[in-house]
Structure 1
Amino acid sequence: MPGCVVCARLVDIIDKQAGKRQEEYTFWPDVLECFGHVYQRENFADDIGGYFPTYKADPLRYVEPCSDAVKGWFKKLKDAGKVTFLLTSSHVDYAESLLENILGKDWQDYFHVAMMYARKPGYFTKEQTERPFYSIVNNKEGDEVNEIQTGCKYLQGSVHTFHSYLKKMSGKENPKVAYFGDSVRSDVLPPQSVGWHPFLILEEMEAEGLSEDSKDQTDGPPTKRGKIAGPSTTEKEFITSSIWGSFFTDQTVLNLPDGSVQTGGDEHDGMNGQVDRQFESLNTLWGYFIQTYADVAIPQLDYIADLPLDHQFGTFADTTHHSAGFFPQPPETLKKK
């Protein structure tokens, strides 16, 4: 998305300098080279490119340590015999730095296996022969690995090899996988396509308003729950838009050819079918992706950290009302005023 803005502004600059619109533009390879200079994985070790040096100078300015509740949840999952794993597209040195600041030096104790530089979404779409796992030697690819081992970390890989590991660990032919991530592109659509159950970390839920009651209780059994810190005013301003409106629902008024008027929040929507009268229609593009491909959306892991491991979540598959799928409840912008 930032690349689209860069492209548009470069077109404007070139046209202004030339005094007219150009027949063709040749700058895009230079933009891609700039992106590579800033973000290519070798830059973390080489301390170049702008992004990684800035992060390394003050990591805690950019990442927030996990709460004790979330750490306890990870341990509870492992103690209950669940297989816990880390899957990230970040390269190993950058990923380990993030994890040490988020979880601590003992971050690897929270997971049975860690897969880095997974290059999602290709991790889910490439065949095993196209995307093998590699051991890690001096933060680079070592030998090709055909079988995953508990307690290890790997580079690259594909879901096909990992499924063999999950079958062995669980003793089940089709183990259920709940996968938590914050990218619709990489953490929702691809895992859903291989039968995983995506839980989308969706900070827009809090940014657009989540009632104070929901920060202290859930629809599960009562528990002793600490106060959950929501986004700051600056974070809300960064996440929300005063131009585009809600991330979830569009209230645009449409004047139809027959002279009638319809709003984007009408109770019968061609995209979603019948909806709950208490809620606006989840009718934006991103809302459609979330409702169609995610199982559950939560603002942050703290909301579920104290729930029993057998808690039953309502999912977006229940299309009769828009409260299903959002946990602990839908954002305020979806509630009819």
Structure 2
Amino acid sequence: MSEALVASRTAGTDVFVPAASGGLQFWRRLRTQRAALGAAVVVALLVLVALAAPLLTAIEGQDPTSYHPALIDSARGGVPTGPLGGIGPDHWLGIEPQTGRDLFARLAYGARVSLGVALAATVVQIAFGVVLGIAAGLGNRWVDELLSRITDIFVAMPLMIMSLALLAIVPPAFPRPVLVTLVIGLISWGNIAKVVRARTLTLKELDHVAAARLSGWGAWRIARRELVPGLAAPVLTYAALLVPQNVTVEAALSFLGVGVKPPTPSWGQMLTAADVWYQAAPQYLLLPAGALFVTVLALTVLGDGVRTALDPRAASRLRVGTGRRRETKADTGSRGDSV
């Protein structure tokens, strides 16, 4: 197996060393973006809280569904007793108004639903988009035309309206997180299919793909061996930007009452129940809203960092950090020294 070699001149002698792998180059570019690394740490902590929710709530001694009516002031309409919404050693973030359920437990378990649905829906979107995009790009004129028109239909579908309609008619016995995942994933794969088709049309004109076709390889063998490596960067970039979008969609569906149903906790569902308590118990509204804001912001910054690391020629849209300005100053200083 041949290795790519790069030359470096040392003491007048050319020394050839193996080029860095694609993964190593990606990591080197990503670690120069401090904002993206900070966002990755936040996302990792959120995922850790979601995965360790049973352990964390066991340490606290609570669960997300138990009611604590003794901690509710019924004379004031169900407002939690105690300072700051009932925060204390037994309830780290306080309790819900009216029900007395532990807020930390519901936030931790809600992270499992929100992040799990978003990630699983992204996998469904990517799977459908990649398969249909490659099929359209490699197919003949009629296959391409048919799949492109189907893709246009799905792109034109209003996601929220179609999701509301589908979620409203499915029997309640169907697991709601799975249903929300499938609805989001099966409706909104059109844009990634368009990206994959356009990239496939470009890649199949390259010499190595043409040689594979002339040698008699089948379409799916060509796709697996020759096209998928070239599609990895745009697909990973798009997937990184889809996750925060899907977090928002899941929260919106739960907020509208057609997403995850009680007693399963969800951040959007918590916002729905908190809309009448923002004055009497503001922490009930601020905690799930803050969790959503931090999650979407961290995923968006991380997705932008992944996009920039995979395509170093593209400037970051967020312009976060000062590394680029320092590089510019260093280049200017080196040019001044050379003059």
Same-fold call, TM > 0.5? no
TM-score by length of 2: 0.23
Bigger Rg over Cα:
2
Structure having the higher strand fraction is 1
Provide TM-score, normalisation by structure 1.
0.23
Higher helix share: 2
